[in-house]
Structure 1
Amino acid sequence: MDAFKGLQKSLTSLGGQITPFASRTFQYTKEQLGQADDKTELPPDYIDLEKRVDALKAVHQKMLAVTSQYSNEAYDYPPNIKETFQDLGRTVSEKVALLSSATSPAEAQAALTAPPSAKPQPKTFHHAMARASLASSQTLHQQHTGAGEDPLATALEKYALAMERLGEARLAQDAQVQSRFLAGWNTTLNTNILFATRARKAVEKARLTLDAVKARVKGTTWKLGGASSPRGADPHDEHELSPEAQEEIEKAEDEFVTQTEEAVGVMKNVLDSPEPLRNLAELVAAQLEFHKKAHEILSELAPIIDGLQVEQEANYRKSRESAS
């Protein structure tokens, strides 16, 4: 027990000599162990701002965890397909143009396997659908021996062109989301909210410094084995603080108040900023534009496919009637 008392006395006497960092560390440890007599309370409004900033940070992290997929071109690319370098060499529209001038099956095959004219084609679901549809169309065309064109082959080629347009519209949407939503929300999270976090840390640092100074000048730097002051006891009742000690406390209090006011201003700026909502509006606008474009493309395609289907139905009925 004498050893503990000696350690307590030593720690107390060292209070005025240790560095501010060590002093704050001592104070933090005391609080964690329940050894702190007094802990300066933060204003309720300040605590409310902290909770709101924490909520805003959580929202940004959760939304970005999902919407960051817009930066990954292949987020909807089918994982089970195997496309070759030749498959990805040219756009579907380029291949269709080459196929339209082919006069033999060999030329048609050459058009499908033509060397790339630019970078590999995008790996999106719509582009994959386009490539699969065009390849399927050509498979039917090559085996078609009847008069005219195979209606399913024709429909698949037109579907392929539409799917490629949809894929390009999706890439345009993704680019807008990246520049108008993801960039803004990442800035808010990694800059604005980060500034608020740093300001809050400065407040906590100033509070620990203040409480450490109070504990040291009042002779309560460390207590062991329940050697705390009686409940309700005021150190001021035991002795008057020296002018130097009072000045040191006031200086620490002023720093705490200053840091708190600065943090309040920073947090309010983060919470009042219209940027997150403006960015969300841009996300919706990009998605809306894509779906409008998709509706336009499919609205153009549907009557064509329907027409081919109706014509084939009519021809099928005629052939059945002739056979009977």
Structure 2
Amino acid sequence: MSQSEMAARVAADGFIAALDQSGGSTPGALRLYGIPDGAYTGEAEMFALMHAMRVRIMTAPAFTGAKVMGAILFEGTMNGSAAGKPVPAYLWRERGVVPFVKVDKGLAAEADGVSLMKPMPDLDPLLARAVKLGVFGTKMRSVINGPSRDGIAAVVKQQFDVAARIAAHGLMPIVEPEVSIKSPGKRDAEAILLTELTKALDAMPDGRVMLKLTLPDVTDLYAPLTRHPRVARVVALSGGYSRAEACERLAVNHGVIASFSRALTEGLTVTMSDAEFDAALAGAIEQIYVASVAKQ
């Protein structure tokens, strides 16, 4: 797989599908898909059902590089197969979709208004395996719950420190300091985050990162980041907004494309026929693609 070809695809029109629900968020995703908690026993069965859902999405006719520029995978999905091929190879060679992998191990307990990432003792072996499988980049998530300048500075520092380790493996880091949409100080937290991100980007000696950010309360708040020489792309998470609201907010933020999870799979259920599922997914992909590339 050509990193230069993938980089060119990442720079073009489209959006990123976030198919990286992990242990904590998987039961909720399965419930929304129509699979109750009692339908499986243990993590192995749970992840097998989640993998089947993801494969159904990845193999659907509309899930191609024409509109879906990339896909963020859970580690288990990266290690799995789709249509008899390793998932990263299937996505790129058969679908033209650039593969990324989630590398964080979840969130530490909240302190100073934020949740940092837990330690990642196996990060380097994971990155080496991702490179071998032909993955283009990574994603890692922290959460900001309030407008704490010290807390947000700590989040950004941790993210960029780990991003440097990821870049050393030749991978593109997606830095995701999510501001909770439930935060009563969301607007203030986003203003602080913009300042801290700008400082971190200005201090980078070389290389580039991608930024995955909550859709801001102030339209085009992150427009300066989309033009920063150290930023490859700015993508937005749906963060709990419905697809309609997420797309409405996305459409007025110029230079920002989607990286939606729940908003992408909204309305998809296990009981749908293949025709129903494919039509619903195609409609979601079209709506998110238009909000990503046809700005108001």
TM-score (norm 1): 0.21
> Which of the two has greater strand per residue?
2
> Which of the two has greater helix per residue?
1
